Chain A
């Protein structure tokens, strides 16, 4: 394609995103065969984020059966960390997506966060070419494929958006919703959304934070194995492999090529700040134990008026080594915990 740098960007979607996309308005978009853009304006929707770990097939299917019966509004589905994890094939993910949709969940298929090899690209094309479900772009390779096909998409949390101007660029090429980068403070989210949110906004609200990606698999490296002969040892770590400092403090978690926080981000006590920042959807990241409680507590606090302090206490009791953190949301170090004003 010839370069067109002086020409205005053409709208890649069937229509420019318009006033329907203003914060809190009620609108639908059925073109994807999926009413992703329907949302009750008063509700903080709960989205089950993609499973970041490598769980055995039975465990995974049981987990999503529980999700199907939960108050969660939507599910983002698919393998986003490592192309070698193939416990479910693309057709299996699609079948699961259909089941969750039949259970009343909005379903989005996620693409891998790091695209480096031809195998990664082949997998990405399979996700991008199906048109039954909307896709969450894990990187700009996915944005290129989806926008070229005039498909609307969710902008995933690992695509950098730090300003309203950046978000508007992605809006022009078809972004229908965005997930803020995990390190973005709610104050910055509020600045992006000031004067009306360009797009519905989702924030990572509970779980170990995906902080970094490498070409190298740190789990295999720990086990002195090469990446291509890793024996799928990450399957042993249902919530990742804990890394502690030399003085014994839980610090990070190794999850294949992904590095996570040991602490679980928890924004259950940030309801007012989330609403003030224009956030309409919360991402709850799958965890091996007590995830139904996580969903139930967020539903109770965000949508039923339950007391945040009591819910926070419940989640503390469930916390993994590393405890809870909310620093990123407050513009502090991500690992910090700052007591809520509520």
Chain B
């Protein structure tokens, strides 16, 4: 950046809340905004025991607002043809309870929200797969979206290209699980289980997972399909199907993606300089303690990167905390920096 250009705005830290407890801990640890969903298929983390009923939503919004923070409601699955009113009612509930914005992927839900609640702020969900500024312009023009969450497949240079050509605020993923496929356009899980993440809000659903002892070790199956086979002493991961080990031309390995997760702490000054307006932490399915610790690290990092970008460096203590939380998984910079390009 040239010295005369205005210093870029401080990006918001947007943290996940799968429960009221996670919401409160995230707010207390310094989240600028918390995102959450209802207890049904209208959001993309539809797991048993997770998410908010109306009373919890009311309490969570009051808690955040009393401390000057925002609550963003994820309504980011696609309305099923036979159940569109369920998604419309979720929009109405969010508006009625005073959510600060809706995170929406389905054009049918966007249209309903824009027409029924024109005052309600709309964020384009990563599930809408808007991977170019032209796609973002479409949603801006027709539904007035004020922010877009970019798919995790873009490089840093491509993120910059989007930012130079859009007036819409841009949010990117900073930390958490990594989808190697473009979000919202992946039918792998429904190919195996019959449940579409786009409609049901869950990929590689726990109910379809079976662990079986076999002579070769332990098999992890998803609806009967062998996703991975572990030696008896090998650490085991959740069998998300794109992160399994398969055979191609007689060679068995992680043929689609290594089971890594995303950590962009090292890129933070660059993301801020590009003009990214919000950094999203993935993990509504994670524990409140996880959310609290990740939020605390990222609060410190963003504050440090904005206060003195030239002196910014990733603190060893941050790395230690985050590595501990990643449960043995390697962290990568994802597509932002692609050594495989």
Residues in chain A within 8 A of chain B (CB atoms): 1, 3-6, 9, 113-118, 120-121, 124, 139-141, 143-145, 147, 158, 160, 162-166, 169-170, 173, 181-183, 188, 191-192, 209, 211-216, 218, 220-222, 226-228, 241-249, 251-252, 254, 259, 261, 327-328, 331-336
B contacts, CB < 8 Å to A = 78-82, 84, 105-108, 111-112, 114-115, 118, 122, 128-132, 134-135, 137-144, 153-155, 158, 161, 180-182, 184-188, 190-194, 196, 198-199, 223, 225-229, 242, 245-249, 251-252, 255-257, 335, 338, 340-341
Chain B contacts of A139 at CB under 8 A? 129, 131-132, 135
25 A–B pairs (Cβ distance < 8 Å), ordered by A: A1-B137, A3-B144, A117-B161, A121-B132, A143-B138, A147-B138, A160-B128, A166-B106, A169-B108, A181-B187, A183-B190, A209-B191, A212-B181, A212-B182, A216-B257, A218-B255, A222-B255, A241-B249, A243-B247, A246-B246, A247-B226, A251-B246, A254-B256, A333-B191, A333-B192
Instruction: Give A227's nearest chain B residue, CB to CB.
Output: B341
- Contact, CB under 8 Å: B223 / A162: no
Q: A162-B80, A218-B255 are in contact. Are A333 and B143 (CB under 8 A)?
A: no
Q: Which residues of B contact A141 (CB under 8 A)?
A: 131-132, 134-135, 138
Q: Are B191 and A183 in contact (CB under 8 A)?
A: yes
Please name all residues of chain A whose beta carbon is closer than 8 Å to the beta carbon of B251 when the two chains form the complex: 222
Can you name 12 extra interface pairs (CB under 8 A) apart from A9-B142, A144-B138, A162-B106?
Answer: A139-B129, A158-B185, A160-B107, A160-B198, A162-B198, A166-B107, A183-B196, A213-B185, A213-B186, A216-B257, A252-B246, A336-B194
Residues of B within 8 A of A334 (CB): 187, 190-192, 194
Residues of A within 8 A of B106 (CB): 160, 162-163, 166
Contact among B225, B247, B338 with A248 in the assembled complex (CB-CB below 8 Å) = B247
Instruction: Name the B residues within 8 Å of A173 (CB-CB).
Output: 142
Q: Given A115-B134, A144-B138, A158-B185 in contact, is the A221-B190 Cβ separation under 8 Å? A: no
Interface centre among A163, A166, A173 (most CB of B within 10 A): A163
B255, A246: Cβ atoms under 8 Å? Answer: no
Q: B132 is contacted by which of A120, A248, A333 (Cβ under 8 Å)?
A: A120
